[in-house]
Structure 1
Amino acid sequence: MKAPFELMLGLRYTRAKRRNGFISFISLSSMIGIALGVTALITVLSIMNGFQSELRDRILGMTAHMTLTEQDGHLRDWRSLYDKVIDLPHVIGAAPNITEQAMITSGKKVSGILVRGILPDQEGEVADISDKMVVGKLSSLYGGDYRIVLGGELALSLGVSLGDKVTVIAPQGTFSPVGIVPRIKRFTVVGVFDAGMHEYDSSLALIHLVDAQKLFKYEDSVGGLQLKLDDLFLVGKVKHELSGVISKNLYVREWRQQHANFFKAIEMEKRMMFIVLALIIMVAAFNIVSTMVMVVTDKQGDIAVLRTLGASPNSIQWIFIIQGLVIGFMGALLGLAGGLSLAFNIDVIVPFIEHLLGIQFFPSDIYYISQVPSKVEWSDVWSVTILAFLLTLVATLYPARKAAKVQPAEALRYE
């Protein structure tokens, strides 16, 4: 099957050596500009996806995907609820806990903390705390012995280590003739964890669930039942399924609600970066306008001959649209290849640049993430590539319409 003459002429004009070399230079620079814009946008979006995924994993590594509790914050008969939800689709683990605010002291040092009462043998079903222990073991927590596990920064600020004593002051006080007296209990430090998140390492302390029930006056109840799913993005579906199993007085809270502001800020930053870097592609694409306008001026004689041979204005228009699209397509293709090459090899490229320049972009003693993460989302890749191609198409419309309006007699007058 023979290709349409518009396609053949459009491709020939792209390959042919023009009399005006400056036009060829602008065409090449436009193609390179589109390629650089697509490369930069794919790479930056992949890095931001990597940061978002890394931070999400670190946050959810210390907490569950969903929490079931009653409106007063006390969950009664959690064992029967555990039996109901553990067999639901996508639920792979469940564990009770108590989370309360308190004060902790060691000598003259005082700090506000978040105390989490857990069952060490079940906590592994919903969180990865055991893997983050740097001193001691999570299994060292025994009910009734009043033992405590501290975050690394919290232990450092208090100046305590394994075997030291700390005092926990709970706001749930007892009434006495002199007023309300806070509940005070001495704990022995049996472990230190490093979650890699300042929020947890500087303010979280873990104790046994039995000790938490006594300290915070929970009796036989717990604060909530935490659930872990096989896919953290299925919380909406599981929440809908829970409505048919649990009673109406139970409150369901998911990870997106607990950290909504944080993840919204990251998503907003990603969108802003997309818009800013898309301007690079836009500038390069609209350089094609000037290129194609000069091509139309340079080819007026050819256009006139084609019109006299019977070519329609629509055919002339498509010749120059094809020529512009070839530039945009090649630029988007080169940018796609470059962006994916950088995104998939960022873990090799960044250390090489650091070694070459003798600097470290993310020092481990300052940043929790010491390496630049990267995660390629194919939806982002195709969005960027299609955007570049569409901008190129828009940029070719004006020059192509101008070419279609060339009058043969006027163009041949000075030939």
Structure 2
Amino acid sequence: MSASQASKAGEAANSRNQDGRAGPFSAFERTVAWRFLKPRKQERMVSIVTVISLLGVMLGVAALIIVMAVMNGFRAELLDRILGLNGHIILQASDTPLNDYDTVAKKLEEVHGVQMALPLLEGQTLASGNVGAGTGALVRGVRKQDFARLESVATNIKEGSLEKYQEGNGVAIGIRMAQNLGLLVGDKLTLVSPEGDVTPFGTIPRVKSYTVEAIFEMGMSEYDTSIVFMHLDEAQLYFNQENNVQVIEVFVDDPDNVGLYKSDIVAAAERPLVVTDWQQRNSAFFSALVIERNAMFLILSIVVIVASLNIISSLIMLVKEKSRGIAILRTMGASQNSILRIFIMAGTGVGLAGTAAGVLLGVLVCLNIRGIQRLMNWISGAEVWDPTVRFLSEIPAQMDFFETMSVILLALILSFLAAILPARRAAKLDPVEALRYE
């Protein structure tokens, strides 16, 4: 700032002080703060450090928003997949076998808030097809009418048809199992159960082939690789469980509050049952996701803190470069508090600009994350998001308003705190010492 500019600014300061202050920052203070931040040829290094500070805040905020959105999306997608296929409340017989499952299921569906009661028979098998050495498979036997009500599966049939599966005696398998075993609709899937027939020569594994009538894709690799759906009556014959099921899975309107339904469901069943819910069965898994999410927030907050420290260095350099101008402002009547507010405004302005740019970048990435994933796959020629490792076939992103606001507040508060030390140093600058050798 030249002497003439400082003189004009000092006159504006005197005029402003006489007229009073409107709001926390006067027009004079805003003008001077903006002049200090404007890049000038002789202060190129200060401008470079300021830009680096701005970019640091931007990238820190964007990284925090993107990672938190991916963590939220990952949890929401997993929860949707798990609750879409598995019951929210699981009922098991405590004394006698569940051979009256049709009657019990009908009673349970009359309970308020219950969407569906699904009698289920499960068994582990070895599945083999046209290629490969075979793979482990979980056979789930469900009634024909119930399969259509499992929307997460029935609405994601990729080959074959739901109607053809319900009419025939075949099976429905996941798309990754079909790819691994080289199976298409109409091919034969061979299932081998270790719990076979007992003969004088020992137990012989039960081997039977079924026609593949439908291929589904849920988007969760564990399910698409290992699950085989079979009609309940056929599963009962295959596993020697005629007229019995292992569990009845109940789907409710509000899975997050399954405890509200338990007493009514047990009373409606009118028989002794062992009751568990999805939260009990998956508590360790979802607790780990919450811990990971909180840890990522803390770790990435350090990036924003480091970017805020850059603001300190840039403002210290700015104070050194503008010491002559500060001294002239002081001699023209600007108070220490006014100088303090000018540099706080300058530092907070850098943080505000970086935060706004970071939020914009983070939102754009979150909205286009699947397109970015496909672009990265095309560039690298490989899957950057391996679904066999990360459960889901695509990167999910789900932004939360309150989390985004917390990131914005964190960045702005850190930027404000980072500006205080250099601003106090500028406010305490002695005009006599600054102008001694001018």
Same fold (TM over 0.5): yes
> Is 1:14 paired with 2:25?
no
Deviation at residue 292 of structure 1 after TM alignment: 1.9
Deviation at residue 192 of structure 1 after TM alignment: 4.0
For structure 1, which runs of at least 5 residues remain unmatched after alignment? none
Contact map agreement 2:377 2:384 (CA 8 A) in 1? no
In the alignment, residue 239 of structure 1 is paired with which amino acid?
G
Contact map agreement 1:121 1:139 (CA 8 A) in 2? no
Distance 1:166 1:401 in 2: 78
Deviation at residue 223 of structure 1 after TM alignment: 1.9
| Equivalence for 2:150 | 126
| Equivalence for 2:172 | 149
Secondary structure of 1:246 counterpart: helix
> Is 1:391 paired with 2:411?
no
CA gap of 1:346–1:363, structure 2 versus 1, over 3 A, is: closer
| Equivalence for 1:100 | 123
Stretch deviating more after TM superposition (284-293 or 311-320)? 311-320
| Equivalence for 2:366 | 343
Distance 2:23 2:158 in 1: 70
| Equivalence for 2:53 | 30
Selected match of 2:348 from 325, 335, 338? 325
| Equivalence for 1:114 | 138
> Is 1:238 paired with 2:258?
yes
TM-score, structure 2 as length reference: 0.74
**Per-residue displacement from partner, 1:316-343 (whole Å, max 9, x unpaired)?**
4333222211111111112212222232
**Per-residue displacement from partner, 1:166-223 (whole Å, max 9, x unpaired)?**
354252765x6566x3573634324242334442333322222123334434444422
Distance 1:147 1:348 in 2: 37
Distance 2:252 2:423 in 1: 55
**Per-residue displacement from partner, 1:297-327 (whole Å, max 9, x unpaired)?**
4455565677678876555433322221111
Secondary structure of 1:96 counterpart: strand
In the alignment, residue 206 of structure 2 is paired with which amino acid?
I
Distance 1:365 1:410 in 2: 66
**Per-residue displacement from partner, 1:106-133 (whole Å, max 9, x unpaired)?**
7996543212110121123234323344
| Equivalence for 1:403 | 426
Distance 2:377 2:193 in 1: 47
| Equivalence for 2:4 | none
CA gap of 1:207–1:135, structure 2 versus 1, over 3 A, is: same
Stretch deviating more after TM superposition (154-163 or 19-28)? 154-163
Percent identity, aligned pairs only, is: 30
In the alignment, residue 235 of structure 1 is paired with which amino acid?
P
The RMSD of aligned alpha carbons is: 4.2
Secondary structure of 1:376 counterpart: coil
For structure 2, which runs of at least 5 residues remain unmatched after alignment? 1-19
Distance 2:334 2:195 in 1: 88
**Per-residue displacement from partner, 1:352-377 (whole Å, max 9, x unpaired)?**
6777x585655999999676544333
Deviation at residue 95 of structure 1 after TM alignment: 1.8
CA gap of 1:239–1:275, structure 2 versus 1, over 3 A, is: same
Deviation at residue 55 of structure 1 after TM alignment: 4.8
Distance 2:340 2:364 in 1: 36
CA gap of 1:277–1:72, structure 2 versus 1, over 3 A, is: farther
Paired residues, what number?
407
TM-score, structure 1 as length reference: 0.77
**Per-residue displacement from partner, 1:133-192 (whole Å, max 9, x unpaired)?**
44444555679x964334445456556662637354252765x6566x357363432424
Contact map agreement 1:9 1:319 (CA 8 A) in 2? no
Selected match of 1:209 from 221, 232, 247? 232
Stretch deviating more after TM superposition (89-98 or 281-290)? 89-98
| Equivalence for 1:43 | 66
Distance 2:29 2:110 in 1: 63
In the alignment, residue 188 of structure 1 is paired with which amino acid?
Y
Deviation at residue 33 of structure 1 after TM alignment: 2.3
Selected match of 1:289 from 269, 287, 312? 312
Selected match of 2:216 from 194, 211, 214? 194
Deviation at residue 7 of structure 1 after TM alignment: 4.2
In the TM superposition, 1:66-105 aligns within 5 A as 66-70=89-93, 75=98, 77-88=100-111, 90-104=113-127
CA gap of 1:22–1:8, structure 2 versus 1, over 3 A, is: farther
Selected match of 1:252 from 259, 272, 276? 276
Deviation at residue 85 of structure 1 after TM alignment: 4.0
Greater helix content: 2
Stretch deviating more after TM superposition (263-272 or 33-42)? 263-272
Distance 1:318 1:409 in 2: 21
CA gap of 1:346–1:116, structure 2 versus 1, over 3 A, is: closer
Distance 2:376 2:242 in 1: 58
Secondary structure of 2:47 counterpart: helix
> Is 1:3 paired with 2:25?
no
Distance 2:388 2:275 in 1: 39
Deviation at residue 235 of structure 1 after TM alignment: 2.1
In the alignment, residue 169 of structure 1 is paired with which amino acid?
S
> Is 1:184 paired with 2:206?
yes
Distance 1:5 1:225 in 2: 65
CA gap of 1:363–1:15, structure 2 versus 1, over 3 A, is: closer
Secondary structure of 1:38 counterpart: helix
Secondary structure of 1:202 counterpart: helix
Deviation at residue 383 of structure 1 after TM alignment: 2.5
CA gap of 1:109–1:383, structure 2 versus 1, over 3 A, is: same
